[in-house]
Amino acid sequence: MDTPRSFLTSVFLVLFYIQQRGALRSHTKMVKAVAVLSSNEGVSGTVFFSQEGDGPTTVTGNLSGLKAGLHGFHVHALGDTTNGCMSTGKRPHFNPAGKEHGAPEDENRHAGDLGNVTVGDDGCASFSITDKQIPLTGPNSIIGRAVVVHADPDDLGKGGHELSKSTGNAGGRVACGIIGLQG
């Protein structure tokens, strides 16, 4: 009587298959990227990006050579630095949904609007940001785009200046780097 053995083998194989599919689904791929920032003004830094599966992207970094205070921090549409940071886009912030400029927590904002980084009296900043609108994979990936640090604070679209709703009135571009995949 081989039927019970065949039945048990079949049940075992089905359970094994279900278990393996679940294990594959729970194993998500970690994607990492990096941007090395520089400028003619002595500003430098490194920004790291990581995203697990379809989760939010974590952005961490260290900057130096900046004046103390707040500085606008954005992902710009173009990963072109042939003319310094000005080449990163005329309508600069990465904005695949065609929205207005805003704060990182706003629903109506450019995907690349990451707010401000805080620089200490020593001219240095360390930061960590988690954001759902800047994926490292898919059609709206930020890979190949640029990250830019601005001279002034980003008013988060609430400053009332003519540039508030487009750039956050964050001033000139003092450092930038192209976002590239990291091994």
Active-site option among 71, 80, 101, 131: 101
Q: Annotated catalytic, 161?
A: no
Distance separating alpha carbons of residues 144 and 142, to the nearest angstrom? 6
Q: Annotated catalytic, 150?
A: yes
With beta carbons less than 8 A apart as the criterion, state whether 137 and 71 touch.
no
Active-site option among 93, 131, 145, 154: 93
Active-site option among 76, 131, 145, 154: 76
Pairing of β 173-178 and β 180-181? unpaired
Active-site option among 74, 80, 109, 145: 74
Going from the C-alpha of 14 to that of each of 5, 125, 176, the distances in angstroms are 14, 54, 53
Q: What is the DSSP letter of 94?
A: -
Active-site option among 109, 150, 154, 155: 150
Distance separating alpha carbons of residues 84 and 39, to the nearest angstrom? 8
Active-site option among 71, 80, 109, 110: 110
Q: Annotated catalytic, 71?
A: no
Residues 6 or more apart from 53 whose CB is under 8 A from it?
Answer: 28, 29
User: What does the CA dihedral 15, 19, 21, 24 come to, rounded to 10 degrees?
Assistant: -160
Active-site option among 71, 80, 109, 113: 113
Active-site option among 71, 109, 145, 173: 173
What H or E segment, with its residue span, contains residue 83? strand 82-85
Catalytic residue annotation: 74, 76, 93, 101, 110, 113, 150, 173
